[in-house]
């Protein structure tokens, strides 16, 4: 598995973003609100017609039809909204995945309607939808949103385990910088629609986020 993308552009959102993700990598995508994390994931997932080239194992995955896509990549949006009250089981099946997803404790949720689930439970079902097809590449937008602390830790560990198993990788947009540092192999920092830096060590963090580490805690940069 190898993902390369170059020159990804969407007017006003994304400016000439290029990246490469190798097999086995969990790459975190961090950045302030509106810095282009979601737009970058959209561009890679073939949502919304961004310009640029994407290559997954030498092929542009956006050329795949609905039958081949779930095996190549899946995309988890940040929103937990769903338009129809389907059963959790059916929702996961609609994503094109046949396999069960272990480690999400879905057994008791599967036969419930998604509108009867709590937001966190629905989040787990939606993550299962993205994981079930066992795609080469996971594109996850805020997967830990709405999850309780234990589930946040379990989920990140689960994503690690999933990509360790087989020739796979994940690109995860996330606001929690501590979680990014703890679980990701690499951290891409986005700012104003560009991939501005890699890693969270250096003066760019204060410049981009307006925060800095003081005694091990993130604090707003003193004026």
Examine residue 148 and tell whether it contacts other proteins (CB under 8 A).
no
Strand partners, 112: none
Minimum CB–partner distance for residue 36 and other proteins (Å): 16
- Of 115-123, 158-166, 189-197, 205-213, the window that binds other proteins (rule: CB under 8 A) is 115-123
From candidates 21, 45, 132, 172, binder to other proteins by CB under 8 A: 45
Buried/exposed code over 34-57 (b: 16+ C-beta within 10 A; e: otherwise): ebbbbbbbbbbbbeeebebebebe
86 CA to centre of own chain: 24
From candidates 113, 165, 182, 213, binder to other proteins by CB under 8 A: 113
- Of 1-9, 61-69, 147-155, 176-184, the window that binds other proteins (rule: CB under 8 A) is 61-69
Query: Which of 11, 57, 4 lies closest to 171 in space, CA to CA?
Result: 4
From candidates 13, 37, 122, 168, binder to other proteins by CB under 8 A: 122
Minimum CB–partner distance for residue 182 and other proteins (Å): 25
Minimum CB–partner distance for residue 206 and other proteins (Å): 32
- Of 59-67, 168-176, 178-186, 190-198, the window that binds other proteins (rule: CB under 8 A) is 59-67
From candidates 74, 104, 158, 177, binder to other proteins by CB under 8 A: 74
Buried/exposed code over 142-175 (b: 16+ C-beta within 10 A; e: otherwise): bbbbbbeeebbebbbebbbebbeeeebbbbbbbe
Q: What is the C-alpha separation between 42 and 187, in angstroms, rounded? A: 18
157 backbone dihedrals φ, ψ, rounded to 5°? -65, -35
Minimum CB–partner distance for residue 211 and other proteins (Å): 26
Structure tokens at 155: 């989920």
- Of 109-117, 157-165, 192-200, 210-218, the window that binds other proteins (rule: CB under 8 A) is 109-117
Examine residue 82 and tell whether it contacts other proteins (CB under 8 A).
yes
- Of 40-48, 151-159, 189-197, 201-209, the window that binds other proteins (rule: CB under 8 A) is 40-48
Nearer to other proteins, 27 or 139 (CB): 139
200 backbone dihedrals φ, ψ, rounded to 5°? -115, 20
Query: Which of 198, 170, 183, 174 lies closest to 23 in space, CA to CA?
Result: 170
Q: What sign has the CA pseudo-torsion 216, 34, 199, 55?
A: positive
Residues within the interface to other proteins (CB under 8 A): 42, 45-48, 64-70, 73-77, 79-87, 90-91, 94-96, 113-115, 119, 122, 129, 139, 146
């Amino acid at each position: 598995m190898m993902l390369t993308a170059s020159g990804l552009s969407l007017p006003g959102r994304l400016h000439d973003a290029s990246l490469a993700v190798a097999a086995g990598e969990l790459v975190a995508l961090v950045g302030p609100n509106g810095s282009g994390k979601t737009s970058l994931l959209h561009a890679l997932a073939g949502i919304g017609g961004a310009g640029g080239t994407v290559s997954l194992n030498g092929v542009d995955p956006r050329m795949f039809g609905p039958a081949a896509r779930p095996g190549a990549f899946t995309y988890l949006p940040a929103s937990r909204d769903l338009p129809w009250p389907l059963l959790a089981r059916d929702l996961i099946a609609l994503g094109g995945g046949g396999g069960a997803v272990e480690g999400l404790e879905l057994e008791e949720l599967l036969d419930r309607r998604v509108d009867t689930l709590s937001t966190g439970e629905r989040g787990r079902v939606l993550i299962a939808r993205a994981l079930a097809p066992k795609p080469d590449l996971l594109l996850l937008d805020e997967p830990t949103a709405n999850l309780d602390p234990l589930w946040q830790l379990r989920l990140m560990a689960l994503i690690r385990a999933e990509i360790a198993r087989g020739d796979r990788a994940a690109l995860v947009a996330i606001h929690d910088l501590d979680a990014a540092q703890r679980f990701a192999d690499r951290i891409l920092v986005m700012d104003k629609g560009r991939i501005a830096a890699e890693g969270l060590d250096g003066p760019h963090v204060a410049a981009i986020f307006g925060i800095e580490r003081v005694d091990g805690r993130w604090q707003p940069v003193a004026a």
